[in-house]
Amino acid sequence: MAAFWIFLLLFAGGVSSEKTCRFQDVLDHIGLKKNKDLFFMTRPVNDHRNATVVSLEMCLYAILDVVEKDQKFIPYVWMVMKWQNDFIAWNKDDFCGIDKVSIPTEVLWKPDITIEEMVEQDKAPPSPLLFISSNGEVEVQNDQVLVSTCRMRVHKFPFDTQSCNLSFKSVIHTAKDILLEASENSSEATQQSRELMRTQYEWLFQNIKVKRFRTAEDQDMVVYTIKMTRRPLLYIVNFLLPVLFFLCLDMASFMITHGGGEKLTFKVTVLLAVTVLQLILNDILPASSDHIPLIAMYCIGIFALMLLSLLETVVVMYLMKKDFHEEKAEERAEESAGCLPEDDHGMFHVFRRDRTHSSYLYDGSSGETPSGLLEVDTVFQHNINQLNEPSVKVSEDCCSLEKILDELKRVERALLHLRKFHQEEPGQWTRFAKKLNRIFFILYIAVVVAFLVYIYIQWSSG
């Protein structure tokens, strides 16, 4: 019985020795009351000559957008800031092992760290809480979407690589008050970002470089340089290849004949199509750049080549048209000089058709119009028949016979002229235009190949 009472007393004593702990007890111990009075709103150091060391950690969660036109970089990042508060500390063994407490962010002093490149305030609300540890360390965790400026180097667009900086520094404090340092090196920051990356938009994340230096205003600054490479497949399919296809169509247009104006219309249509693509490109690239983008040189070069091809087509058509007009003038002169005179006996005149270049004769005494012309051999047979008619009195009129012989000689000369005309080569301007077209086509192909090789080398160079 005595042993039972002893055991009961020991058990009761052990239970009563267990202590119940609350977070509020910790806050009361360090001086943070329930009424949330502002406490320690100045820099928390025991000696004002001691600087507050702020440790930074940044992780890249996502690349949301890169706006080349406005030169903006929009990442989604997670940031952690840690610093030491000399007035906050407790023994965790006195409070049931509690070593970390969360409190509202407005209760304690926080360093005024800002991002120099930020151009828009984050619309997402900041974290409402911060953590304090038993050793006096204060930690703030926050994730936000940053809209920052980034100088885009688009010389090799769309095969470009961009490097955008996120520079952390204090707004008003110098290095005597706040010292900034990065808690991770470049390789650690890169590895952590790759593991946590959610989306990369059209970019491929490369690495993060961490650098710490002091500005001319005696302020510490930690710079995170994010390097990324563009994925060019979309621009190759939607822009570069269509322009190249239009250039191939322009080269194929040399096979079209110059007659009728279809070749000129085709070239103008292809040139206008390239102009539309250039307008689309103007909406992508920024207005200012250190160097002319290679893609702009690519478009302008192809546009210039196609323009030269169009001008060459105009020149060739002009030369061939000039030769045609000269032939027409010669034909009219020959018709005026080579027509047979009409006489009382119904002799025949020689005409030449413009399109077929064939000679015709018609009976001047019959009153028929040139639309009813007869072939030379038909008219000649008709002339012989007339000679056999009784109305023709060769024996009585020698003069008339001589006239007939003269007319036959003229017909013979006309037939010889027709044979020579059908066998003669095209005019000199037509021959020159065809030769010029062949030479230009060879030079055009050579220049196009050289230009494309040059652009490829520039894009491929490091």
Bridge partners (DSSP) of residue 203 are 230
Q: What is the pLDDT of residue 385?
A: 56
pLDDT digits (tens, 9 = 90+) for 231-259: 999 899 989 999 999 999 999 998 888 76
Count CA within 13 A, CB hemisphere, residue 398: 0
pLDDT(369) > 50: no
pLDDT(336) > 70: no
Contact (Cβ atoms closer than 8 angstroms) between residue 40 and residue 108? yes
Average pLDDT over residues 42-67: 92
In b/e form, how buried is each residue of 34-51, taking b as 16+ CB within 10 angstroms? eeeeebbeebbeeeeeeb
pLDDT(74) > 90: yes
pTM of the model: 0.70
pLDDT(355) > 50: no
Q: What is the pLDDT of residue 12?
A: 45
State the Cα–Cα distance between residues 316 and 256, nearest whole angstrom.
13
Contact (Cβ atoms closer than 8 angstroms) between residue 162 and residue 152? yes
Q: What is the pLDDT of residue 208?
A: 96
Q: What is the pLDDT of residue 373?
A: 39
Average pLDDT over residues 356-369: 42
Contact (Cβ atoms closer than 8 angstroms) between residue 430 and residue 323? yes
pLDDT(45) > 80: yes
Can you read off the two tokens belonging to residue 67?
């706006």
Higher pLDDT among residues 283 and 84, named by residue: 84
pLDDT category of residue 434 using cuts at 50, 70 and 90 = confident
User: Tokens 């110059």 correspond to what residue?
Assistant: 258
pLDDT category of residue 440 using cuts at 50, 70 and 90 = very high
- The percentage of residues in the chain with a pLDDT greater than 70, rounded to a whole number, is 73
State the Cα–Cα distance between residues 338 and 351, nearest whole angstrom.
8
pLDDT(228) > 90: yes
**67 φ/ψ angles, rounded to the nearest 5 degrees:** -100, 100
pLDDT category of residue 349 using cuts at 50, 70 and 90 = very low
In this structure, which topology does domain 233-462 adopt according to CATH? Answer: Methane Monooxygenase Hydroxylase; Chain G, domain 1 (1.20.58)
Q: What is the pLDDT of residue 427?
A: 67
State the Cα–Cα distance between residues 100 and 137, nearest whole angstrom.
9
pLDDT digits (tens, 9 = 90+) for 372-390: 434 444 544 555 555 455 5
Higher pLDDT among residues 288 and 343, named by residue: 288
State the Cα–Cα distance between residues 345 and 324, nearest whole angstrom.
37
Domains 19-231 and 233-462 share a fold: no
Higher pLDDT among residues 448 and 278, named by residue: 448
Q: What is the pLDDT of residue 243?
A: 94
Q: What is the pLDDT of residue 339?
A: 46
Average pLDDT over residues 287-298: 81
Average pLDDT over residues 10-25: 59
Contact (Cβ atoms closer than 8 angstroms) between residue 440 and residue 314? no
pLDDT(438) > 60: yes
Residue 151 Cα to chain centre, angstroms: 18
Count CA within 13 A, CB hemisphere, residue 90: 23
Higher pLDDT among residues 112 and 321, named by residue: 112
pLDDT category of residue 370 using cuts at 50, 70 and 90 = very low
Higher pLDDT among residues 40 and 322, named by residue: 322
State the Cα–Cα distance between residues 119 and 412, nearest whole angstrom.
95
* Summary mean pLDDT of the chain: 79
User: Tokens 């329930």 correspond to what residue?
Assistant: 34
Q: What is the pLDDT of residue 380?
A: 47
pLDDT(188) > 70: yes
Best CATH choice for the domain 19-231 from the list 1.20.1090.10, 2.70.170.10, 3.20.20.80, 2.40.70.10: 2.70.170.10
Q: What is the pLDDT of residue 64?
A: 93
Of the candidates 243, 358, 363, the residue with the CA atom closest to the CA atom of residue 296: 243
Q: What is the pLDDT of residue 443?
A: 95
State the Cα–Cα distance between residues 247 and 305, nearest whole angstrom.
9
Q: What is the pLDDT of residue 167?
A: 95
pLDDT category of residue 457 using cuts at 50, 70 and 90 = very high
Higher pLDDT among residues 43 and 329, named by residue: 43
How distant, in Å, are the alpha carbons of 56, 75, 124, 291 from that of 59?
10, 10, 17, 32
Q: Cα–Cα–Cα angle for 161, 166, 167, nearest 5°?
A: 135
Can you read off the two tokens belonging to residue 222?
């930690």
- Residue 158 preceded by cis peptide, ω within 30: yes
Q: What is the pLDDT of residue 117?
A: 92
Query: If DSSP states are collapsed to H, E and C, what string results for the chain?
Result: CHHHHHHHHHHHHHHHHCCCCCHHHHHHHHCCCCCCCCCCCCCCCCCCCCCEEEEEEEEEEEEEEEECCCCEEEEEEEEEEEEECCCCCCCHHHHCCCCEEEEECCCCCCCCEEECCEEECCCCCCCCEEEEECCCEEEEEEEEECEEECCCCCCCCCCCEEEEEEEEEECCCCCCCEEEEECCCHHHHHHHHHHHCCECCCEEEEEEEEEEEECCCCCEEEEEEEEEEECCHHHHHHHHHHHHHHHHHHHHHHHCCCHHHHHHHHHHHHHHHHHHHHHHHHCCCCCCCCCCCHHHHHHHHHHHHHHHHHHHHHHHHHHHHHHHHHHHHHHHHHHHHHCCCCCCCCCEEEEECCCCCCEEEEECCCCCCHHHCEEHHHHHHHHHHHHHCCCCCCCCCHHHHHHHHHHHHHHHHHHHHHHHHHHCCCCHHHHHHHHHHHHHHHHHHHHHHHHHHHHHHHHHCC
Domain ranges of the chain: 19-231, 233-462
pLDDT digits (tens, 9 = 90+) for 114-163: 999 998 877 777 888 899 999 999 999 999 999 999 988 888 989 999 99
pLDDT category of residue 182 using cuts at 50, 70 and 90 = very high
State the Cα–Cα distance between residues 272 and 276, nearest whole angstrom.
6
Q: What is the pLDDT of residue 362?
A: 42
